[in-house]
Amino acid sequence: MLTKRQWIGVGILVVMIVAVKVCLVMVDRVRQGSMPDEPSKDSVTESAPSICLHYFDPNTADSASLLQLGLRPWQIRNMMRYRAKGGRYHHPEDFQSLYGLTDSAYQRLVPYIRIDSSEWVHRRDSIRHLRWVRDSTKHVTDSLRYDSILRARHIHPKRDTMIELNTTDTADLQYIRGVGRYLATQIVRYREQLGGYVDVNQVREIPHTERAGWDTIIPHLTADTTLVRKIAVNHCSVNTLASHPYLRFEQAQAIYKYRRMQFQIHSIDELSAIPQLTQEDIARLRKYLIFD
């Protein structure tokens, strides 16, 4: 004899089995209802486009006439793209290269192909003339377009040129191969600190430019020494002297004190008496100091 709890369990199991069977039947009905009916042969025949063969020129025929010949829409699109790019069917046999065209379809259509050679000759001569004009002006046009694009992007086309360091600006410097905006800015800034370049090799002294290709840049540089701004030692302040890259503050202060002791310095050779200055320092300063 089954207990009351066991009868309850059996009842629940039976209900679950029935529910599963009902679900399976409903799923089958849904699947059968969602599947489309297979079209009949008669409906397929009725929906197929009718073919009407006629004479046509593959270089000028429109899409409607090509559809009547039995070509598929995607084949017609390929033909139109080919023609739009300047493609041309010179002979009826060229039509056989149409992508997707079967041999039987080609044999059916080839007797109806008529290519107008006179129109093609006129178009060919026109295209040749246009190509000649294009090629004759291509170099000039490309150069102008290239320069205009670079100017719009604030990029300077590189060219072989000679640049005078004491009068140039950052834009002209960037015409030299190997000189970008940063390096051009540093060259001009160092020139202002020096008062002008007396030698083109002074650009090698610019801080943080050790990786610059100075060996290829310097041959394009010149320095006009008559444009150098000099410091009047007998009239300037300590800060003016100290602002020069070749003098440290303590050296500038020593020169100022020596001038006050001597009342006036007459030549750069007198600076040898200042312990803070070496002969190398004096040689570098020689073209930047005046003693009037």
CATH of 50-115, one of 1.10.150, 3.40.1010, 1.10.10, 3.30.379: 1.10.150
Residue 142 has pLDDT above 60, yes or no: no
Higher pLDDT, 223 or 143: 223
Region of poorest pLDDT, from 10-19, 102-111, 189-198, 261-270: 10-19
Choose between 247 and 45: higher pLDDT: 247
- The mean pLDDT of 66-95, rounded to a whole number, is 86
Fold of 163-227: DNA polymerase; domain 1 (1.10.150)
The pLDDT > 90 percentage for the chain reads 33
Protein fold of 231-290? DNA polymerase; domain 1 (1.10.150)
Please give the pLDDT value at position 194: 93
Q: Please list the alpha-helical segments (H only) found in 88-227.
A: 103-109, 117-152, 170-173, 181-194, 214-217
Q: What is the DSSP string of 135-170?
A: HHHHHHHHHHHHHHHHHHTT-PPP----EETTT--H
Read off the DSSP letter of residue 38. P
Q: Is the pLDDT of residue 160 over 60?
A: yes
Helix (H, G, I), strand (E, B) or coil at 221: strand
Asked whether residue 64 carries a pLDDT value surpassing 60, the answer given is yes
Biggest CA-to-CA distance, the chain: 136
The whole-chain average pLDDT of the chain stands at: 80
The tens digit of pLDDT for each residue in 179-216 reads 889 999 999 999 999 999 999 999 999 998 888 889 99
Q: Is the pLDDT of residue 156 over 60?
A: no
Q: What is the mean pLDDT of residues 65-90?
A: 86
